[in-house]
Structure 1
Amino acid sequence: MDLIRSMHPLARAWLLDGPLSSYVEAFQVLLERGRYAEGSMETALRAWSHFAHWMTKCQLSADQIDEALVEEFLDSHLPRCNCHPAALRTLNGLRASLGHLLSLLREQHVIVELPGPGGPVADELCRYNLHMRDARGLAVGTREDRLVLVGRLLQCKFAGNAIVIGELQPEDVRGFIATELTRVNSVSHASAVTAALRGYFRYRGTCGDAVHALLGVISSPVRWSQASLPRALTNEEVQRLEAHCGQAKRAPLRLLAMVRLALDLGLRVGEIARLEIGDFDWRAGTVTLKRTKSLRQDVMPLPALTGQALAEYMRLERPATTLPSLFVRRLAPHDKPIGVDAVSQAIERALRSAGISRSCHSLRHTLACRLVNSGSSIKEVADVLRHRSLDTSLIYAKLDMQLLAEVALPWPGSAS
């Protein structure tokens, strides 16, 4: 209660005498369990206090709170708020703290859980998800992205009704694709939409539906195979990136460990995020990848520089936790593994700060280019990058300058 006693008397009264008073103690336990900083806890309590004051003026009770009410407070009350200066008015602080409020009230069954997907569309998506997982072996992220797109199509046509693919017309599919490309007009999104729809209609074909007309209206955007070159980092850019990691203000050892895993082992950001301490055999100098895109278990050698970066991170910078995850959150809520987005954002932020206009996937390209230019075969590159098909690795053949020079024809009119 020390933080509450240190609050402004009026704000403290709003909190302890208002409609949220019964949940203040549980809220403090939630914040302490997540090991939030004292300043964050103070902000959260002030946010609750302001919201409780507004609820009192509106004669609202805790069981009436939902997302719509929170948005009404933030969108309608906050811009014209004339409450006492003790009231917190920071939008981000209010939104985050009221998100905790909603979670706590649902945990204590004060308000109902958010309605999950239901009805025929949800059942159909569940069946299709199982097909993608068991029959096609697609990764979790791929399945989730495709379910979102297929769900939008089915919701537009069959919302609340049984799924009858025979009622879906080519014009419906054309209209849906046009709407999606209006929403996000990019080649990558167009490819994602066409792949999701084509995969779903082929699944329906295996169920006995006539889908030839629907498949016929799906045309993929032009993306010439092997048309581009992999965008790898130069040696000078790699040195700049490594130097920047060591100078980073936030978690430099963690950042360097992530970069080394991507640069030396060619790991994808999802594979980095899902690594666990038990995946490493320090005596044998290997790492076992158990949660990969291809759903296989791969054992890879652990280079000395990578192992050293990981050891320094774990010894000097990794937060104390009982979690098996290699990379865990540094900020509250603690004792949780980091997500895929946290890895990609950290690496891409480091690249930008080092003056390198590349994506985090370019580190994987860099490893492949190094292997090719050091004499490794395309098969060896495919093995290191764990590509399912050798064709995926053929793009790196264009970077083997020594072999290309041997087959290059002389320029017409030149002396050679």
Structure 2
Amino acid sequence: MNEHCGLKPVVLEKLQAGLLAPHLAALSRELSERGYAIATSNYALRLFATAGIWLESSDHRILDLDEAVLDAFLAERYRHFKPRSEDHPMLAFLLACLRRTGVLLPPSESPDLDPNAPIREAFRTHLINQRNLVPETVSTYLDTVTRFLDWRFGAQSPPVLTDLSAEDVNAFMLEQARRYSAGHTQLIASALRGFLRFLLQHGILAIDLAQAVPAPARRHLAGLPKFMPAEDVERLPLPWDVGEALSRYLRDARPACSTRQVFVCLRAPRRGFQAGNAVGTIVRRALARADLHPPHQGAHLLRHSLATRLLREGASLVEIGELLRHQNLDTTRIYAKVDEPALRRLAPPWPGGVQ
């Protein structure tokens, strides 16, 4: 801890008091790996140590540590010290680290407060252990289950799942289809089917209501791909020597951190992008800097623009599909709609000549 933070020995000795003292070295290393400045890390460690002393003096155990306990700690601290903007984020960081390393148990949902918590938790375990789904998909499925159960049962405790019917399933999906796009409605339908099959497998339902979930119509080739003209694409800061730029980033600019992801946040905490929308945000900012305002923005705009340009320059759909890493040629066929010269050759002459 001393190597990273540069704290004076007398300060280090003071930090060794309290319930959190055995964990401060690991927390210090975590702060360093996440890229926090030394001054920020020093303040955080002092805050953690003070929280540990307060816990001990107020007869708490370390296992009692949660958001409510830390709120009580801050309320007491603010009677004597001025609040600082780092306090809440740093204490959230503390809880996350202790939970991830197993010192603390993950926060549990109380059945008394949420009547749907037990069945939702059982479904979460099923998704992780039996279906081996990634965390993002698990979160999407659980969000759908929460909305479905709240919609059907409200605050009824406990929900009588045996009362579910095909009419309930259809009515819920109809409401979702009115609120969301066809693509997102398909995700909701998949999640609801998975939940209903789970209820059937565990004997909670006697009939397979998953078959009652309608399949939202989604016509993959119904629209046109959104793209920019080639001259507009040239105004994004994409150098021709992308490989060399990437090499320089990895060698000289990428912050040192433990994550294996290529691109990481420059500001602490140092970590990879949490979701794909971060890339979309970067593209939108680049478009704004270039004073470009296409009606549709985001990362896919660049892919569509490249594919459209290649098609108009004579590339085949197979070549474009290979470049874009499409697994199915049907995904690439949508670009045929913007190949105007080829479409003109397919169009029969208008009876009586040009009108």
Confirm or deny: 8 A CA contact 1:344 1:360 kept in the other structure: yes
Q: Return the alpha-carbon distance in structure 1 between the equivalents of residues 330 and 9 of structure 2.
A: 65
CA–CA separation in structure 2 for the residues paired with 1:225 and 1:105: 46
Aligned to 2:318: 379
Aligned-partner Cα distance in 2 for 1:108–1:406: 65
Matched-pair identity in %: 29
Cα pair 2:186 2:215 within 8 Å, conserved: no
State how 1:316-335 maps to structure 2 within 5 Å: 316-319=252-255, 325-334=261-270
With normalisation by structure 2, the TM-score equals: 0.68
Alignment equivalent of 1:96, drawn from 89, 105, 114: 89
Deviation at residue 404 of structure 1 after TM alignment:
1.6
Equivalent residue, structure 2, for 1:311:
247
The equivalent residue for 1:270 is none
In structure 2, list runs of 5 or more residues that go unmatched. Answer: 111-116, 154-159
Matched, 1:227 2:222: yes
Alignment deviations for residues 192-237 of structure 1 (CA, whole Å, 9 cap, x no partner): 21233346657989999743x65345362x6554232111132233
1:241 to 233, 236, 239: 236
Q: How does 1:189-268 map to 2 (within 5 A)?
A: 189-198=184-193, 210-211=207-208, 215-216=211-212, 218=214, 220=216, 223-242=218-237
Q: 1:130 to 1:315 in 2, by over 3 A?
A: same
Amino acid at match of 1:148: L
Q: Are 2:255 and 2:266, in contact at CA under 8 Å, matched by a contact in 1? A: yes
Give the Å deviation of 1:98.
0.6
Whether 1:366 aligns to 2:302 is: no
User: Would you say the 8 A contact 1:150–1:200 is kept in 2?
Assistant: no
Aligned partner of 1:264 in structure 2 is none
State the 1:96 CA deviation: 2.2
Paired residue for 1:401, among 335, 340, 344? 340
- Structure 1 residue runs of 5 or longer lacking an equivalent are 134-138, 159-163, 243-255, 261-303
* Residue identity in the other structure for 2:94: L
1:14-413 → structure 2 map (5 Å cutoff):
20=20, 23-45=23-45, 47-48=47-48, 60=60, 62-71=62-71, 77=75, 81-84=78-81, 87-90=82-85, 93-106=86-99, 111-115=104-108, 140=134, 143-144=137-138, 147-149=141-143, 151-152=145-146, 168-174=164-170, 176-177=172-173, 185-187=179-181, 188-198=183-193, 210-211=207-208, 215-216=211-212, 218=214, 220=216, 223-242=218-237, 305-319=241-255, 325-334=261-270, 337-341=272-276, 342-356=278-292, 357=294, 358-408=297-347
Aligned residues: 336
Change (3 A) 1:55 1:203: closer
Asked if the contact 2:63/2:104 (under 8 Å) is kept, the reply is yes
1:318/1:328 contact within 8 Å kept: yes
Q: Which residue identity is paired with 2:105?
A: V
Q: Deviations over 1:68-87 (max 9, x none)?
A: 3335667xx49x94433xx4
Separation in 1, partners of 2:64, 2:47: 18
In 2, distance between residues paired with 1:131 and 1:24?
37
Distance 1:414 1:107, change over 3 A: closer
Distance 1:382 1:58 in 2: 64
AA partner of residue 390 (structure 1): L
How far does residue 399 in structure 1 lie from its aligned partner after superposition?
0.7
- Asked whether the equivalents of residues 201 and 215 of structure 1 are also in contact (C-alpha less than 8 Å), the reply is no
Amino acid paired to 1:99: A
SS at match of 1:241: coil
Shift of 1:360: 0.9
CA RMSD of the aligned region, Å? 5.0
Q: Distance in 2 between matches of 1:62 and 1:207?
A: 37
Residue 114 of structure 2 corresponds to which residue in structure 1?
A: none
**CA–CA distance in structure 2, aligned partners of residues 145 and 107 of structure 1:** 18
SS of structure 2 residue aligned to 1:36:
coil
CA deviation profile, 1:136-173 (whole Å, cap 9, x unmatched): xxx84774355324653787689xxxxx9876312442
Amino acid corresponding to residue 316 of structure 1 in structure 2: D
Q: Whole-Å Cα distance in 2 between the matches of residues 353 and 401 of structure 1? A: 31
Secondary structure of 2:326 counterpart = coil
Tell me by how many angstroms 1:363 deviates.
1.6
Q: Any conservation in 2 of the 1:198–1:218 contact (CA below 8 Å)?
A: no
Q: Quick one: which amino acid aligns to residue 138 of structure 2?
A: E
